[in-house]
Chain A
Amino acid sequence: MGEDLIAALSTPPGEGGIGIIRTSGSGVIERISQIFSPAKSGRLADKNGFTLTLGWITDKDGSKIDKVLIGIMRGPHSYTGEDVVEINCHGGSMPVRRCLQRCLDLGLRLAEPGEFTKRAFLNGRLDLSQAEAVIDVIRAKTDRGLHLAMQQLEGKSQFIEEIEDGLLHVNAMVDASLDFPEEVGDLDYDETRTNLVVILNRLDKLLAAGRRNEVFRDGVEVVICGKPNVGKSSLLNALLRQEKAIVTDTPGTTRDVVEDYINIRGIPVKIMDTAGIRVTEDFVEKMGVQKSREVMEKADLLIFMLDIAEGIDQEDMDIYNLVDPERVIVLVNKDDLEKKRISPLQLERLFAGVKVIRASIINEVGLEELEQAIEEKALSGAVPSDGLDIMVNLRQKDALERSREQVWHACQTMQQVPLDCFAIDIWGALETLGEINGKSLKEDVINRIFHEFCIGK
């Protein structure tokens, strides 16, 4: 499978100890051996899988480009399930780039992002859930996100299995009563109801944990807004702890949205600074203002900044009125200045029920409090996860929600519809759950029946 050969740099670009080029595809070993000159005798193409060979990558004219160590894995015993060659070059960017170029000269093409994993999935080396988890691992932006993605990789199945087990039990009880009416008798509805409630709770917890942990994978978008010169860029910079946004004393010089990623307590935060929102004749700035408004509407969280020395005027409140109080943190900057024109009473009156932080960005005062507030806000609405450290991707979430809906419907209609109809929802919930790990469950139900009942005439 996978007729075409792919290659990619699989270590980060730039200076490093070594740089690894990974290639995959049927026949790739033979192909790479064309540009490889081994240090000892013997052809690369004749080597066994899981061996390392020392030698040189050679240029078109036969000259040596770099001394490398080549690892061979033969399909299907490799990550992708195909033949894989890994070239360990010296880490400077030149040798790596030239070796990669040589691979491309041989007719290999650059791999698309995630293509090695995709091939692993297509070749049956990973099942869908695992493949999805790998993608999450690759994309993880923070340690916490990586930790959660790894959890998924190593089998969240145990949580699903608990739910599945509960449903199998209910299904077996129902089916036993239908198939063996004389031996088993009627369904114990009280017990069944109790079981279903437990299942519903488990599903809810799983979904809640998923929602909470989504934050760690997908992150949140935080927008800094406020009048010009309240210190938005300074805040952004303080958070980034690097110079990126342009810092100036002339109002309105941050014309566009400036953004970057930061890691706040494991949550990937995309943080954006807006151009000052104010009425202006300047066309360029007008564009910036329009864009800022769009960004503010989209944001998960807003930091609304005030300047304690300037007081609160109509322009401040016009901006504040654009934001949703549920999603806002008010940051009163320049708290270090003597001249204070904003009183605590005023803050309490204008921003009742809103998180207000007094800070001095240039002195790095209040940043800790701000990060904590961002974390709280980002995770608010997400129920505590009860130690369920798992990631639930969209497809799995969809299946869990559909499964839950059917369990819920079963609870609602129990004893109002005949048992065979009730069974349709239970079976539906099980079948939907099976989509997550692709299990076929029919045989399990039957085994359950015989395990739990004395049946037979």
Chain B
Amino acid sequence: MNLIFEAGKYEIIVIGAGHAGCEAALAAARMGCPTLLVTMSVENIALMPCNPSVGGPAKAQLVREIDALGGEMGVNIDKSSIQMRMINTGKGPAVQALRAQADKHEYGREMIKTILGQPGLDLLMAEVVDIEAEEERVKAVVTRTGARYKCRAIVLTTGTYLKGRIIAGEVIFDGGPGNQFPSVRLSDSLRGMGIKLGRFKTGTPPRIDRKTIDFSRMEEQPGDDKPWRFSFISPPPQRQQLSCWLTHSTSETHRIVMENIERAPMFTGVIEGIGTRYCPSFEDKVVRFSHKPSHQLFVEPEGRDTDEMYVQGLNTSLPEDVQIRVLRSIPGLEHVHMIRTGYAIEYDYVIPTQARPTLENKVIAGLFTAGQINGTSGYEEAAAQGLIAGINAALTVQDRAPFMLKRSEAYIGVMIDDLVTKQGNEPYRVLTSRAEYRLLLRQDNADLRLTEMGRAIGLVDDYRWGIFKEKKTLLEKGTHYLQSTTFTSADKEMDCYLASIASAPLRDRTSLWELLRRPEIRVKDLIDCGWFNAEDENVISQIQIQCKYEGYIKKQRDQVLRFEKLESKQIPEDFDYGRVYSLSNEASQKLKEIRPLSIGHASRIAGVTPSDINILLIYMQKRRK
């Protein structure tokens, strides 16, 4: 070890400047904590090492939630998108999801600008090799060059860099994504503190040269002709959108894969880490779904000022020569030039059940983990955790109450509860099907759900607050007006209108709100007829959703009430499970490990049975007497 010198003192140090690290650092600094953001490479801040897109089902909801709380991702993708599409438009408001294609380089550049412009936040390029703790509380970090920075809390957001190992066929070397250096010594430092690590695997497809693609053999996928944006405060987009392209694999492609399958690391056993089911390698798909003659492949631009294109659906760790042959068997790619080879990466992650719902480690106080290091996948998942970890790191330093979101309040709540409760055996991705109450957790109402909380924390500035207050007022006024303005069959104008659209005539006194429940009538129609006045598109669509789905929303609210009965039964932090003899061994062990906050929380732990829950309930009842 080189000589160590005292380099400075911060309240919070964030290690890693990917999507989690950026949110954590910005949140902490914005909440008034002197913060240091340490990255191994300033050029790679907010890097998108895999797909060039943000959003999609469940992920869009996360981005909107981050935005509503005062995070950065929504604003940043709005600045740097090259295409926006609304997915699932025909399937209902709960699952409609915005997806943006990002200009990767612009995304990073915009984030660097924001970070450098943030008062109270210092940026440092260094590799952290050691975390120092005293009496199970973090104290300082040490860099490879011997600089020691003291701090009161650390947010660890190192992504897939921990002991990263890159694999492409027979070629294997230590490294992080995008051929960066792996972070080796930090992993050992964590182990030394008693933190349990696991090993996961993920992968990325090859990148190809736009100039060598025959787009005439592919189907064009243009962006929507609407001014979509993620952030509730972004201005409407101005720039021209770029298209993506759809093609598919052929029987020839599958033949090439099968012919070389014994060279695939997945099958030779070279890869030990567990991969994801929702992001399988292409060779995995060919083997497991051998009855499918073809798989969809999307060719997506990586930016405005580059010819690199991403081949969505072709993530692979086959040897480089096989990858080239696979590519050239695909319609439109017959003469393609491959710029970057696809690869699989294995990395260490911190088993997330060691964290509290604030993302603070249960053993080492002041140590927060967020992002891929917690065994998740996806930029959005990382950013959301980063934000929550940053917020809670600042709150602990400021001696304020922790911030946690419930499963019924946000996808962020669903995700973190899943992470700290369930022992997942694959990288975690957020899905709408993980949420019990997805009709309440819509992307369109994220601001209504969370802005007030963000304001209370101190992350929502006056500008955002003003926009929110105005929207909320308009919404309340509009709803009240619609509910209190009524018509009868005596109103000739209404009678004529209903007849003209073949809608049933009024029998009793009916409010506009009730009329709006009819499938054939939209808010826009009421405005056109002069019965209602509203200009803000967001307000109009919000009213429309709240009215049309009122019945189902109520159903979900009732479900939440039932659900929260058990959530509100809190278990004291120091609860001694050892004294409850009748618990099963497995349950007792899991409960001791996870230390659930409530009975509801406990019931979601794998291995804890309904009768264990009954026992806990009864035991606690007795203890209270």
Interface set of A (CB-CB < 8 Å, partner B): 1, 75-76, 81, 121-128, 171, 175, 177-183, 417-421, 423-424, 427-428, 431, 437-440, 442-443, 445-446, 449-450, 454-457
Contact = CB atoms under 8 A, between A and B. Distances in A.
Contacts of A1: 581-582, 618-619, 622
A420 B93 contact: yes
Contacts, number: 136
B119 interface: no
A438 B609 contact: yes
B582 A457 contact: no
Interface of B: 51, 57-58, 87-88, 90-95, 276-280, 285, 288-289, 292, 295-296, 298, 312-313, 315, 422, 431-434, 436, 438-439, 549, 552, 555-556, 559, 581-584, 603-604, 606, 609-615, 618-619, 622
Which 6 A-B pairs have CB atoms at the shortest separation, nearest pair first?
A418-B92, A438-B610, A420-B92, A175-B433, A420-B94, A450-B277
B610 A128 contact: yes
Contact of B91 (A418, A427, A445): A418
8 contacts: A76-B582, A124-B584, A181-B88, A181-B91, A182-B296, A420-B92, A420-B93, A454-B288
B208 to A, nearest CB: 16
B101 to A, nearest CB: 13
A403 to B, nearest CB: 14
A297 to B, nearest CB: 38
B94 A456 contact: no
B582 A81 contact: yes
Contact of A419 (B87, B91, B555): B91
A427 B432 CA distance: 13
Contacts of B431: 175, 179, 446, 449
Max count, chain B CB within 10 A of own CB: residue among A125, A178, A428? A178
Contacts of A180: 57, 278
Nearest to A172: B433
Contacts of A449: 431, 433
Given A181-B87, A424-B552, A121 B614 contact: yes
B312 A457 contact: yes
A126 B276 CA distance: 37
Contact of A456 (B280, B581, B615): B280
B535 to A, nearest CB: 26
A439 B581 CA distance: 23
Contacts of A122: 614-615, 618
Given A178-B57, A419-B95, A127 B610 contact: yes
A417 B619 CA distance: 45
B240 to A, nearest CB: 24
Contacts of A439: 610
Nearest to B91: A419
A420 B436 contact: no
Given A126-B611, A175-B431, A446-B434, 10 more contacts: A1-B618, A122-B618, A124-B614, A125-B582, A128-B610, A180-B57, A180-B278, A419-B95, A442-B433, A443-B606
B611 A440 contact: no
A424 B439 contact: yes
Contacts of A127: 609-611, 614
Given A122-B618, A457-B51, A431 B559 contact: yes
A443 B555 CA distance: 22
Given A420-B91, A420-B93, A443 B288 contact: no
A423 B57 CA distance: 15
A179 B298 CA distance: 17
Contacts of A445: 433
Contacts of B614: 121-122, 124, 127-128
A446 B439 contact: no
Given A179-B433, A457-B312, A450 B278 contact: yes
Contacts of A121: 611, 614
A81 B315 CA distance: 54
Contacts of B606: 443
Contacts of A76: 581-582
Contact of A124 (B92, B278, B583): B583
Nearest to A76: B582
Nearest to B614: A124
A417 B439 CA distance: 13
B439 A421 contact: yes
B292 A454 contact: yes
Nearest to A75: B581
Nearest to B311: A457
A405 B93 CA distance: 24
